[in-house]
Chains A and B, each alone.
Chain A
Amino acid sequence: MLTPAELVWLIAAVAKGDEAAFERLYAATRAKLFGVVLRILRRQDLAEEVIQEAYVKIWNSAGKFNPGLSSPITWMVSIARNRAIDVVRKRTEVSIEEEPAAMEVAADTPDPLARREMTEELKRLLECVGRLEPDRQKLVLLAYYNGWSREQLAAKFETPVNTVKTWLRRSMLDIRECLGL
């Protein structure tokens, strides 16, 4: 795995149209991005489409990456994840349950938290999430990791959508205050 500094350098090269750098960037990051979107989309074919679109966007907007604001991998994951959420939200409106093709997604082995890459920032965020009430911790994490909509969360927590809405809003504002954002 490349270090964040190496990834920043690669993105800078990609911004100048360096195809070899783009290939290295892809090799270093594809599995992480694919893991994130497959978890949300739960379908290999959709996940592949989203990854393709995400890397095209990364290629086209590498010049906009600001290493002062975000880490390279988080920036790239955000691009892919946003695309995945867009896809899943639009699909949800058509059908939510009937997904015969919904394969059991490849079981990712969650990176053990205890790995060295666990950053100070993640520790702080987990501390803040940990201060929420247990149900709300779960709510926030299910929303992030599984890309669930308010409706899906409401079903999971057997509570009205409006309550979920209130909880989400409150939770995000609590996290903001805790992080000092």
Chain B
Amino acid sequence: MMAYSEDDIALAAEYALGTLDADERTQVESMISLDKAFAAIVEAWEHKLGILNQMVGSIEPPPELWDKIKTAVGHAEPQAPLLLPDAPPPPPVAAEVVETTAAAADTANVIRLSAQARRWRRVATFTTAIAAALVAMIAVGVYQPDLLPDGIRPKSRVQVVEVKTPAGPAPSAQYVAVLQKEGGSPAFILTVDAATRNFTVRKVDAAAEPGKSFELWLISDKLPRPRSLGVIGGADFTARPVLSSYDTDIVNTATYAVTVEQAGGSPDGNPHSAPVFAGKLIEAVPPR
């Protein structure tokens, strides 16, 4: 196999990252089609960087987009109506058909949302510029049916709530801190929403000893001493709004540290161990 220079590798990486200009992109694309080994390098970068998509929020495209895609891939035949097998195919562009399609799509949305009811909170905070017109449907009542035994699990107790989403605040940045030991693997992942300053701690790989609790601290050179952000619960996730009382500047530049405290947390508001895990925020999903 041919050896690739750092220039080639950086070019492949920048192609995957997307920072090349149009001419350079065309150049890389022709290299990809001519050189399988180079194509593999690009693909590897696309995969490595592409996992960042896990942090991008989903947005529903308009329902009619699917019809265009179907047409474009060449299987756009109108579906035969099941109840009227002998009926002639419906006129392709009749207004009624369009409406029916839209209605069907709405129903599909409801079903989909019911299935993903855990995400209802995300839907609730979904704001758009076409917000005034947008009606979000939220399926409520099936929030955690999985926790119930079959017998008493509510059967599609779906309530459709219409929420006129307000023209919400500008989309905000998400910050993330990976709390880890020096050179160790991440133990906690802290996420902070820049606008609301709500934070979430996800336990990745850490278990407190029996009778002890992990406590999260904010350490800033702008504050005289570490401030407790509370005990990290036993669950996988702990979410709290307490950062809202701090300045953005402090939140963004602070070090976040985890100490081991007596069960229930430090009794006097001071940490009682050296930080076991620590990290600083990096901007993960920048504002637009």
Contact = CB atoms under 8 A, between A and B. Distances in A.
B69 interface: yes
Residue in A40, A73, A85 with the greatest tally of chain B CB atoms within 10 Å: A85
Interface residues of B, number: 74
Given A69-B44, A169-B10, A77 B58 contact: no
A85 B57 CA distance: 18
A66 B236 CA distance: 33
Contacts of A35: 56-59
A114 B237 contact: yes
A51 to B, nearest CB: 6
Contacts of A89: 20-22, 25
B60 A113 contact: no
Nearest to B198: A112
B52 interface: yes
A160 interface: no
Nearest to B61: A34
Nearest to B24: A89
B181 interface: no
Contacts, number: 244
B68 interface: yes
B178 to A, nearest CB: 6
Contact of A123 (B44, B49, B189): B189
Contacts of A118: 54, 189, 202
Nearest to A147: B18
A121 B51 contact: yes
Nearest to B202: A114
B66 A173 contact: no
A106 B59 contact: yes
Interface of A: 1, 19, 22-23, 26-27, 30-32, 34-36, 38-40, 42, 47-48, 51-52, 55-56, 59-60, 69-71, 73-75, 77-78, 81-82, 85-86, 89-90, 92-93, 103-114, 116-119, 121-123, 125-127, 129-130, 134, 137-138, 140-150, 153, 168-169, 172-173, 175-176, 179, 181
Given A74-B47, A123-B189, A137-B282, 7 more contacts: A34-B58, A36-B53, A48-B65, A103-B129, A103-B130, A125-B51, A138-B282
